[in-house]
Structure 1
């Protein structure tokens, strides 16, 4: 299962979540999270005017909050390794992925 986000992707194989961000001019460094280690998920659907996001919460770490401003309005910062911004066209795929992760961590 895969969700194409803004400058990256989230993949879920039933056990592992892989967040791959593709920054310009840097090496790709995927982040792997085990679904059983996730304590929660946050999903905000994208709209016509703003991107949404998918964020995974882990024990012992604080969730990055939503930023203000024109470019990052209502999303965690790009530097947060446990989240990815998503466009409106990826809302359905992101919703399915979040549901699958919630069921797997169950």
Structure 2
């Protein structure tokens, strides 16, 4: 299952979460997380005016704070490796991906 975000994507194969981020002028960066290691998830759906985000919390890492201001719309910064901003059209796919990750977490 894959969700296309803003300058990146998230794939989930049932065990591993792969977050790929593409910054303008840089090579894509890929971050892999094992779903069983995730201690929490956050999903903020996008609206017509602002992007939303998916965020995965891991043991020993603090959750990224939401940026404030009109341009960022309350999302974690792009430099956070465990989150990805999503457009409104990806809300349904993001909810399904988060439900799948939560199902794997609860079965551990």
- 2-structure distance, mates of 1:92, 1:29: 25
Gaps of 5+ in 2: none
- 2-structure distance, mates of 1:30, 1:85: 15
Q: CA deviation at 1:73?
A: 1.8
The alignment's TM-score, normalised by the length of structure 1, stands at 0.98
Q: State how many pairs are aligned.
A: 106
The alignment's TM-score, normalised by the length of structure 2, stands at 0.96
Q: CA deviation at 1:25?
A: 1.1
- 2-structure distance, mates of 1:35, 1:6: 22
Gaps of 5+ in 1: none
Does 2:25 correspond to 1:4?
no
Does 2:61 correspond to 1:89?
no
- 2-structure distance, mates of 1:95, 1:87: 13
- Over the aligned positions, Cα root-mean-square deviation in angstroms equals 0.5
